[in-house]
Amino acid sequence: MKCPYCHSFNTKVIDTRRDTRGNVRRRRECKDCTKRFTTVERAILTTPWVIKRDGRREEFDREKVLVGLHTACTRRPIPAETLENIVDKVEYTIRKNGRAEIASHTIGDLVMEELRKVDEVAYIRYATVYLNLSDLEAIRTEIDRLRAQRR
């Protein structure tokens, strides 16, 4: 494994763990620069195609989901690892159903559900774009719906 800091291939595994989704997480240390980093191993499965609202199809891209989450969570106290876990859960759910194609709104719904559990402000930010909430009344309605779910 190549060190992300000094680019040396002289690394060693310090710890190995499995997470709930079957991924293998390895804590590694570079023997040259002594910095530590984590790698995640997961099976490479057939990537489902995402059917966009306009009918276009594109390959599922976990980085695209992660960028959307980062945008929604800007200046919120949410660790990057939490966002990675959300994307892992969404990707796991998509792959678990085994379908070759999935509607983009299904992915958005999965992301929103996970984000709602983590941070309500980030959820509203994501919902504003995803649900196309174009005016204050639509945003207020979504906030009221979120408050009603909390009770």
The mean per-residue pLDDT over the stretch 14-32 comes to 90
The mean per-residue pLDDT over the stretch 48-64 comes to 93
pTM as predicted = 0.67
Strands 101-103 and 49-51 turn out to be parallel
Reported confidence tier of residue 36, pLDDT bands at 50, 70, 90? very high
53 with 38, same domain? no
6 with 58, same domain? no
89 with 144, same domain? yes
| Predicted confidence (pLDDT) at residue 44 exceeds the cutoff of 70 | no
| Overall domain count for the chain | 2
Structure letter (DSSP) for residue 123: H
The domain containing residue 54 runs over which residues? 48-150
| Predicted confidence (pLDDT) at residue 132 exceeds the cutoff of 90 | no
106 with 145, same domain? yes
35 with 66, same domain? no
Q: Summarize pLDDT for 81-130 with one digit per residue, the tens.
A: 999 999 999 998 998 888 899 999 999 999 999 999 999 999 999 988 88
132 with 60, same domain? yes
Reported confidence tier of residue 45, pLDDT bands at 50, 70, 90? low
Q: Are 30 and 81 in contact (CB under 8 A)?
A: no
Contacts with 147 (C-beta within 8 Å, 6 or more apart), sequence order: none
61 with 31, same domain? no
